[in-house]
A and B are shown apart, each in its own frame.
Chain A
Amino acid sequence: MVFLEFEKPLENLYEQLEKIKEVGEKGDVDVSAAIVDLENKIKLRRKEIYTNLSGWQKVQLSRHPERPYSLYYIDQICKKFIELHGDRRAGDDKAIVAGIGSIDYQTVMIIGHQKGVNTKMRQYRNFGMANPEGYRKALRLMKTAERFGFPIVCLIDTPGAFPGLEAEERGQAEAIARNLFEMAQLTVPIICIVIGEGASGGALGIGLGDRTYMLENTWFSVISPENCSTILWRTWDYKEQAAEALKLTAEHMHNFGLVDGIIKEPLGGAHTFPEETAKAVKRYIVKAISEIKQLSTEQMIHQRIEKYSNMGQYDTV
């Protein structure tokens, strides 16, 4: 188990539990009462810790090294999935995975940011930071989905679009802008789910749709707390304050009316019971698709554009 900073009190308790269990296995002393006692303590402590998470703590949970990534959800949700590669222009971006799959009896196009599960894979996936090829692959496959009437599911989990030299040369900004423009008019339902980090344009590049849901311990913001701190406070040290100031949690986003719902995670985060989390995600996808399918194509696109048109807070003088 990996323990985050704020989970350290739990690490202690778990260590004690392990020790007592070892003693019990030797068979000399009856430890059952002590085990029950400790397990209760852990339960209470977990509840205490996880029911009052700060913005920054949720950011940390969203980046938990054991947290499930897009391919895990795809594997759990789809009976069949065939990954498709390449943008047909320049390359194949490993930071975004995409392909056709089946959810219950429905073929869907699934597109998601993918982070690596270990050091080597994290590099291979460029830490989930896509280049223009990733966004163009996504768009190519969305257009394919549109031609065949398949709903589109986007799983968002990125610390941002890759800020590299070649990314700029090949038009990172244009790739994201083009996706936003095209996604607004796609004639098939688009369901977006933030499963981890939702940072800025890199997240939004596959994040415009009829429904946007956020898993409970995820965030969605114009900038990561670290970068916000660097720009406004001129040092990384204020990331906790920045995380609070940005009001970036699922709860805030839902209250602001910027996302359509929150998908509950098991206590302690998605990684503690990933199968349960995947089931919940699937339920939301299936429900959203059937709801949107009630609408005519014109109504669907009209409602999608209206939804985004209404986002914004200002005064008049």
Chain B
Amino acid sequence: MGWFKRLKEGISTGTNSKMETPEGLWYQCDECKTTTTQKEVKENLYKCPNCNRHTRIGSHEYFEILFDEDSYHELFGNLVSKDFIGFTDLKPYHERLTAAREKTNLNDAITVAVGLVDKKPLVVSAMDFTFIGGSMGSVVGEKIAMSIDYCIKEHLPLMIISKSGGARMMESAFSLMQMAKTSAKLTLLAKAKLPFLSFLTDPTTGGVTASYAMLGDINFSEPNALIGFAGPRIIKETIKKELPEGFQRAEFLLDKGFLDFIVDRADLRKTVGDLLKLFDDKPTFEGEKKDVIAINGREVPNVNV
């Protein structure tokens, strides 16, 4: 008989007495549980150095990854949400907004920037999940509409990086109508024959998926990103069965035909740069003498080389 037999089953620590690990030093991967340093993860583009799990990152991190050094600046940063309908659940919406602004240092769940990707200009509207679950309210809708107007005026392509739990409940029908608004505006971008790259990142669900996120000329994603309309929990409750492994993950959507390809974050900048060149009238791929370029194993004809 062992000396250290557990006398009580299921010993658990109360929330109050849990020890906080100081932030900013160690990083433990949720997937493979390997512990590394934050620095290592950051240098690896916020991916786990062991299992390559892509962690959730914010708009500014994506800007840093995508844009050429010091080549971008923010647009429409002065828009902020307001509690127009006076929504209160457990907390008034305006208090949630203030708290979210303080916590994230952002004005809302989307940030827009224009800059150069491999010397090609691009407008990027990137969502932040940390701001009320990346939810889409009036500000998100309006900033996307303004991005589209800007692209049409300046004759630039648009990339939207989606990362959202869906429409923002606290703006009720106003947030619902942002689905109609953004989709309707995207038809104008299509008419102007400007490419729209929709990059769906973990997670993209609800009204965001059911509007602009699914409407890209190119829909692409990061490995293992959760993408869907209804959340997995609701589906489980509806069908009263366990969901299959990998359900609603990027690989699943690629298999079902809703994504064009999946890109590792390490290849994101290059892939976007290549796409921008290919969508251009006269693409030049300096130093590349290949007849085709491969994106994740799929060959794309390089017409002008």
Interface of A toward B, CB cutoff 8 Å: 161-165, 167-174, 176-178, 180-181, 184-185, 200-201, 204-205, 207-208, 220-223, 228, 231-233, 238, 241-242, 245-248, 252-253, 256, 258, 304-305, 308-309, 311-317
Contacts and interface: CB of A to CB of B under 8 A. Distances in A.
22 contacts: A161-B230, A164-B238, A165-B239, A165-B247, A168-B229, A171-B257, A172-B229, A173-B209, A176-B210, A177-B209, A177-B214, A181-B187, A201-B210, A204-B177, A207-B180, A208-B183, A222-B207, A311-B178, A312-B138, A312-B177, A314-B139, A317-B107
Contacts of B81: 314-315
Nearest to A185: B187
Contact of A228 (B84, B169, B207): B169
A308 B180 contact: yes
B89 A178 contact: no
A207 B210 CA distance: 13
B254 to A, nearest CB: 12
A245 B89 contact: yes
Given A208-B180, A313-B138, A314-B139, A163 B230 contact: yes
Nearest to B227: A173
A309 B145 contact: yes
B207 to A, nearest CB: 6
A201 B179 contact: yes
Interface of B: 78-82, 84-85, 87-90, 107, 138-139, 141-142, 145, 167-169, 171-181, 183-188, 206-207, 209-215, 228-230, 234-235, 238-239, 241, 243, 247-248, 256-258
Given A168-B248, A232-B169, A177 B210 contact: yes
Nearest to A207: B180
Contact of B235 (A168, A207, A313): A168
B16 to A, nearest CB: 21
Contacts of A238: 89
Closest 7 pairs between A and B when the two form their complex, measured CB to CB: A163-B230, A312-B138, A180-B183, A184-B184, A173-B209, A313-B84, A173-B229
Nearest to A246: B172
A308 B256 CA distance: 31
Contacts of B139: 312, 314
A273 to B, nearest CB: 28
Contacts of A304: 184
Contact of B214 (A167, A173, A184): A173
A169 B187 contact: no
A305 B185 contact: yes
Contacts of A170: 256
B210 A173 contact: yes
Nearest to A219: B173
Given A184-B187, A311-B180, A221 B210 contact: no
A221 B168 CA distance: 11
Nearest to B148: A309
Contacts of A204: 176-177, 179-180
Contacts of B229: 161, 163, 167-168, 172-173, 176, 201
B273 to A, nearest CB: 27
Nearest to A171: B258
A223 B211 CA distance: 16
A252 B87 CA distance: 13
Contacts of A222: 167-169, 171-173, 175-176, 207
A245 B174 contact: no
